[in-house]
Chains A and B, each alone.
Chain A
Amino acid sequence: METITHGKQYMQVVFNQTLEQNEKIFVPYIMGGDGGIESLIPTLQQLDQAGATAIEIGIPFSDPVADGPTIQEAGKRARETGVTLQQILDKLAEERQSIKAPIIVMTYLNPIFQFGVDRFMEVAQSAGIDGLIIPDLPLEHESFIRQAKEKYGLALIQLVSLTSSKERIKQIAQASEGFLYAVTVNGITGARQTFADDLATHFELLQTYSDVPVLAGFGISTPDHVQSMTEVADGVVVGSQIIQSLKANDFDHIHALINAKDNQ
């Protein structure tokens, strides 16, 4: 089997291919270890085969301040099984080649800091991780991990919010690697009914400044949401709804969400 060098470049290649085929990007989020560590690889394989462009794995944390009840509960279930960051990375290292989609780790900063920033990047890279999302590491503190991240070639995906000033939007968009994560609500993760009316203008601005794909995330939970968001963005990240569907064994809903991305 052909060996792939994982990291920022792999994610770029996959995203570019997707967009060149006039398809949108769909990134489901799962909580690492929810359902037990043994379910991690089978879940990733299922999502990969279902058409996920990339997959985001959340690392359970005791104090997830950016997350709503669904992801908090999933993290709590995962922690109760005793799963650790090390176990998740070990499991991936064993079976990474069975999953084609780029893998993104979403973690709060403290677990990386305690693991050792440099050691984390090294282990993550060798486990086949392509990118990182760290919701409590704003642009100001990027230097905290910059050197190690560059050394091992991982993409640091930046989040941009509706409250970010135009000047910040520009800085964040230009710094972001892999994709630009556009938070679509003022709030935490979790299902929503509606979104602000002026999102289209916001995304136009993001696209102007960003050299990487712009993905919408937070609150996206129905095929209708996916469809309307992919009209203005290059793709979507869906978290809480994926976790609920996986928990309910409702893979049909996950297929419906993924299929909605190319329905414009």
Chain B
Amino acid sequence: MEQTQQSNGMYGPYGGRFIPETLMGAVQELEASYEEAIQDEAFQARLQQLLKQYVGRENPLYFAANLTEEIGGARIYLKREDLNHTGAHKINNTIGQALLTERMGKRKVVAETGAGQHGVATATVCALLNLDCVIFMGAEDMKRQKLNVFRMELLGAKVEAVEQGSATLKDAVNEALRYWVSNVDDTHYIMGSVLGPHPFPKMVRDFQSVIGRETKQQHLDAEGQLPDAVVACVGGGSNAMGMFYPFIDDHVALYGIEAAGEGVETDHHAATLTKGSPGILHGAMMYLLQDEAGQILEASSISAGLDYPGVGPEHSYLKDTDRVHYLAVTDDDALEAFQLLSRTEGIIPALESSHAVAEAVKIAKTMSPDESLVICLSGRGDKDVEAVQEHLQS
């Protein structure tokens, strides 16, 4: 497999470890512990057992016959991450990192959350492994995702409202990092996406790569060959990176779909790779939405999980090398796709995943019925139905 990553955690010019010195020891310890754990058969066996019995893997690669017929192009498959315990791909990563927390002898966890999916997935594994859990969440996001806040509390987590900045995901990461600096001796930070200082982008990608590995095998079993195209939504980019990574060296077209919000020509979007430029935030060099003076701009999307002004360093690199095509989908188009999949397949997708669905049906239309396309259905839409109802009625 092509190694896009050098040993220092750089992906071309992206990535790195741009963090305060107080965190350096913890990040080095994490890297050592992670590299040791993935070689350890007992660790792997425990991880596999939990993924199978607790998360419910493997989940299906479902042939969406009705959607395929409605669109009239490539055969469309859905990788059903929405069927995982807690309803999204996020738990693939939190299980792995929670096991690492134990391994490092730490009993406390901090995490950030946008839509609440990563917060719920973190609170869930903390309940399972009896770890103390603090989740930072933007006050604005808490309003948008009330049910997930209640879920996290029910699971025993403490949810801290973040009022700073735009009170969304970026600000929640800031506060979680500040909390980690102040509690680094006994606390692990479970980063929710392929973001942050090395080794987080690599480690999160590796834990999420189960998506792509299963998809590859399942598609081979169903079609006797690899898919022609794979489509996934990109906020920070963890489901996309987990889906894409096993296909990087294959002849498969990869599409990462960002949130265009009200349109990439407006100031209200989260299309970092489409409209941003390289810079440094939250410990890594990556594409960012920023002004000329290097101040980070506020991202905007109907989907709280895509509402982040940065994107993982490996995605930044895959954009520059043109290995992955990055496109952006508006709120309106995502809302339409949300309804389309619900109506045709009886599957309500998360608003995040709806961005992938929206672009995927456009791409599928241009392909022939001999070809196939996989959509990473990263999460289920139950959390979004109230917000969608409000939008459709307004």
Residues of A near any B CB (own CB < 8 A): 61-66, 68, 72, 79, 84-86, 108-115, 135-141, 158-165, 168, 172, 183, 186-188
Contacts and interface: CB of A to CB of B under 8 A. Distances in A.
B282 A65 contact: yes
A188 B294 contact: no
Given A65-B177, A79-B295, A114-B279, A183 B21 contact: yes
A136 B282 CA distance: 9
Contact of B20 (A65, A85, A114): A65
Interface stretch (B181-189, B245-253, B260-268): B181-189
Question: Which among A65, A160, A164 has the greatest number of chain B C-beta atoms within 10 A?
Answer: A65
Interface in B154-177: 164-165, 170, 174, 177
Contacts of B18: 109, 136-138, 141
B127 interface: no
Given A62-B165, A65-B178, A115-B294, A135 B24 contact: no
B185 A66 contact: no
Nearest to A134: B18
Given A61-B295, A188-B182, A138 B19 contact: yes
Contacts of A164: 21, 24-25
A139 B181 CA distance: 18
Interface residues of B, number: 35
Chain B contact residues, majority secondary structure: mixed
Interface string B122-148: 000000000000000000000000000
Contact of B294 (A114, A137, A183): A114
A201 to B, nearest CB: 17
B76 to A, nearest CB: 39
Given A65-B20, A141-B16, A163 B184 contact: yes
Given A85-B293, A141-B18, A110 B177 contact: no
B22 A162 contact: yes
Contact of A62 (B20, B177, B283, B295): B295
A108 B280 CA distance: 9
A138 B24 contact: yes
Given A65-B20, A138-B19, A141-B16, 5 more contacts: A111-B293, A115-B293, A161-B20, A163-B24, A163-B26
Contacts of B164: 72
Q: Which interface residue of B20, B23, B296 has the most chain A CB atoms within 10 A?
A: B20
B181 A66 contact: yes
B22 A109 contact: no
A85 B21 CA distance: 24
Contacts of A161: 20-22, 24-25
Contacts of A111: 293-295
B390 interface: no
Contacts of B292: 114
Nearest to A218: B22
Q: Which of A110, A165, A187 has the most CB of B within 10 A?
A: A110
Given A161-B20, A172-B21, A183-B22, A113 B178 contact: no
Contacts of B182: 186-188
Contacts of A168: 24-25
Name, among A63, A68, A84, the residue most crowded by chain B CB atoms within 10 Å (CB to CB).
Answer: A63
B360 interface: no
Residue with the greatest number of chain A CB neighbours at <10 A, chosen from B19, B23, B178: B178
11 contacts: A63-B165, A64-B174, A86-B293, A109-B280, A138-B17, A161-B21, A163-B22, A163-B185, A165-B25, A183-B22, A188-B181
Contacts of B280: 108-110, 113, 136
B110 interface: no
A179 to B, nearest CB: 15
A172 B181 CA distance: 19
A188 B178 contact: yes
Contacts of B184: 163, 186
Which interface residue of A108, A113, A159 has the most chain B CB atoms within 10 A? A113
B20 A135 contact: yes
Contacts of B279: 110, 113-114
Contacts of A115: 293-294
B91 interface: no
Contacts of B293: 84-86, 111, 114-115
B21 A62 contact: no
A165 B174 CA distance: 25
B25 A163 contact: yes
B21 A159 contact: yes
Contacts of A66: 20, 178, 181
Nearest to B26: A163
Contacts of A110: 279-281, 288, 290, 294, 296
A68 B164 CA distance: 12
Nearest to B176: A65
Contacts of B23: 163
Interface centre among A115, A164, A188 (most CB of B within 10 A): A188
B170 A63 contact: yes
A108 B18 CA distance: 10
B294 A113 contact: yes
Interface in B3-25: 8, 16-25
A133 to B, nearest CB: 11
Nearest to B22: A161
A108 B23 CA distance: 16
A34 to B, nearest CB: 16
Contacts of B181: 65-66, 186-188
B176 to A, nearest CB: 9
